[in-house]
Amino acid sequence: MKLRYLIPALALSVACSGNKHEMQHEHAQHQHVNTAEAGLHEHGAHAAGEAMLEPSDASIYNLDSRWVSHTGDSINLHTLQGRVQLVAMVYTACEYACPRIVADMKRIEEAVVDTWGHQVGFVLVSIDPKHDTPEKLREFARKNGFNPHRWQLLHGSEGNILELAALLGVQYKKVGEKDFSHSNVITVLDAAGEIKHQQLGLGVKPDETIAAIQQLLIKQMEGRSLKHH
């Protein structure tokens, strides 16, 4: 696997069960990169009649790791291609930061769903493979009311999690039997799996993230229109 760049590592937060006032609130930083050309069906590249995309050197979909979703399906990351994806790394026993990351993702979902429907996906990757089994992730999805057409929760091996975290610029460290310190990052991937934007911190106003998503989707529509003409 080759990638043109790696996202710089972010500072760790304190353990999620720790004092809330000790949590590190990173200032929102954002990365904008020119979007890749893509003519995509709103339900993904695997829809009937839609060609598979060839990942660029910068795509995380070059990873050949296998994961198990909360529905019990064994998948590769490239099965996520075909629509804009928001990705965050969390763990279900987290008492403070992770629920806020999920809340931030839900705010973004509410802002884009009426216009873009299922053209945007939401992915949570557990950093605690020992405790966050697919069954545990399925229960977590049920409790949070995640729409199954938009949300995917992934369980993987420790090696695969570390590899993906490095590419997303997420640092995490186990600090207890069921507790981790970790970066608070929501990453926007384009349809080909390239990082186009990152929202850092907790409770950040999502305006720039929403704008980045909308710009990607508009360019996808324009790409489809040019392709058909």
* 197-229 pLDDT per residue, tens: 999 999 999 999 999 999 999 998 887 666 655
Backbone angles phi, psi at 8, to 5 degrees: -55, 145
- Report if residue 4 sits inside a domain: no
- Report if residue 81 sits inside a domain: yes
Per the model's pLDDT, the better-predicted residue between 34 and 117 turns out to be: 117
- Report if residue 68 sits inside a domain: yes
- Report if residue 211 sits inside a domain: yes
Per the model's pLDDT, the better-predicted residue between 3 and 142 turns out to be: 142
- Report if residue 168 sits inside a domain: yes
- Report if residue 10 sits inside a domain: no
Tell me, yes or no, if the pTM score tops 0.85. no
| Residue pair 195/4 in contact by the 8 Å Cβ criterion | no
CA 31/CA 199 separation, integer angstroms: 9
Q: What is the CATH number of the domain that holds 131?
A: 3.40.30.10
How far, CA to CA in Å, does 150 sit from each of 58, 87, 196, 214? 24, 12, 19, 16
| Residue pair 202/184 in contact by the 8 Å Cβ criterion | yes
- Report if residue 13 sits inside a domain: no
* 135-177 pLDDT per residue, tens: 999 999 999 999 999 999 999 999 999 999 999 999 999 998 8
- Report if residue 39 sits inside a domain: yes
| Angle value at C-alpha 198, between 182 and 163, nearest 5 degrees | 50
Terminal-residue alpha carbon distance, the chain: 35
Q: Quote the number of domains for the chain.
A: 1
Domain ranges, residue 78: 20-228
pLDDT at 54 over 70: no
pLDDT score, position 51:
47
